[in-house]
Amino acid sequence: MSTPTRRPEPASLPDQPLSVALVTLGCARNEVDSEELAGRLAADGFMLVDDAGSADTVVVNTCGFVEAAKKDSVDTLLEAADLKAAGTTQAVVAVGCLAERYGKDLAESLPEADAVLGFDDYPDIAARLRSIVAGETHHPHTPQDRRKLLPISPVDRATSVDDISVPGLGGPRAVRRRLDGGPMSPLKLASGCDRRCSFCAIPSFRGSFVSRRPSDVLGEAVWLAGQGVREVFLVSENSTSYGKDLGDLRLLETLLPELAAVEGIDRVRVSYLQPAETRPGLVEAIATTPGVAPYFDLSFQHASADVLRRMRRFGDPESFLGLLDQVRALAPDAGVRSNVIVGFPGETEAELQTLCDFLVAARMDVTGVFGYSDEDGTEAASYGGKLDEDEIRARTEHVTNLVEELTAQRAEERIGETVEVLVEHVDDDEVVGRAAHQGPEVDGSTYLVGSAARVGDLVRAEVVATEGVDLHAKESP
């Protein structure tokens, strides 16, 4: 990492503490990163503010996953730069996956940002921001494959990687500072990914898979409960791999009951399970442990065995439906969600039909549908057999329409079902929350009819109507 150099005429630092607004884009893992950055900044004297227009510094935690997310990140940085041009802020800084993935290339193409900081800058984030506001130039990193940075030996890792909770390789653990006071909070299980899916660039900029120690995860859950959190959402790039680098692949099965037993935590939810790695013991732990939501976020991506092999993944309709049978045998009302990619290179109409037939049989609560696009540095970007954009768009629309119909039908099947709803928003007479089968933000909501519940309440209610994937429910007597 290079040392910042000073511009000829640096700006003067204000007498009062510098204020900073953190704008977070992308997934729940980014939310945790932002709260860890907030903790570091607050501990070093920065004043955290919600309104970017009133901040000395705007830090945009970017997403670098797909083209739409990259565009959203760039647009947000440009909007923050407009605030600087209007004289309401002194510096605009990019952090997060897009910044890590493109480094100096992003800085050169986006001069409106005052600095592009990588993951290795996180431990010294306060010093970095002060120097940038003071007029110093930060030279961004040259991107590299972060999978090559981790020590192989778990013994070596015990003195380095396990002692941090941000995606870097040095510095003390951050003290997390909540930016959203709601009753749900993401809780990071691990960082990075060891899989080599041909369409995905995430491992190259997030690094190899590294589990957090169970004691750290439990300790953070206790802290979150003290902050008023009632549901923790366990996040990682691949939760089914948790513990493998610590010598125990079944560590998640033993950790879940301990998390559910934390005083104040009423619901534990697991995200992002790889179907090929989802073992029977883990299915049982998620489906039957009291306090753990019977919720299965299964990353199918497709159903055709041939397409999955080209994706460097494993599975077929029979094995996937068998996994869902295991889930529903233990928890008939379990929530199931997934994502699928349509228009992958070489996808035939027969393979597309295989996917559609699987979706009909799977009866999932929510399915995200994404049209394929090339990602820099991935194996699939070099594949032949690319479909043209119009064909990908047409196939994506076809599958999306099918999914909307199927998920609406699945929601209707829940009419008469008793659900436990965690209330997250109360606006006038509208009380909105999520049932156990609904993950945060992307799985729909449950609207409580005629309820006087407050934010943070856990309410038993009977589903009386649906609207798409959303439920309407009336409190049980």
Quote the CA–CA distance of 301 and 238 in Å, as a whole number: 14
- Is 27 annotated as ligand-binding? yes
**Conformation bin of residue 186: beta by default, left when phi > 0, alpha when psi is -120 to 50:** beta
Nearest to 329 by CA among 287, 285, 371, 359: 287
The token pair at 97 is 């996956």
Quote the CA–CA distance of 53 and 65 in Å, as a whole number: 27
Residues 237/272, Cβ–Cβ less than 8 Å? yes
- Is 356 annotated as ligand-binding? no
- Is 63 annotated as ligand-binding? yes
Quote the CA–CA distance of 122 and 167 in Å, as a whole number: 8
Partnered with residue 297 across adjacent β-strands are 337
The token pair at 14 is 């204000």
Residues 267/230, Cβ–Cβ less than 8 Å? yes
In Å, what is the CA distance from 220 to each residue of 285, 290, 420? 21, 20, 25
Binding residues: 27, 63, 97, 193, 197, 200
Binding residues for [4Fe-4S] cluster: 27, 63, 97, 193, 197, 200
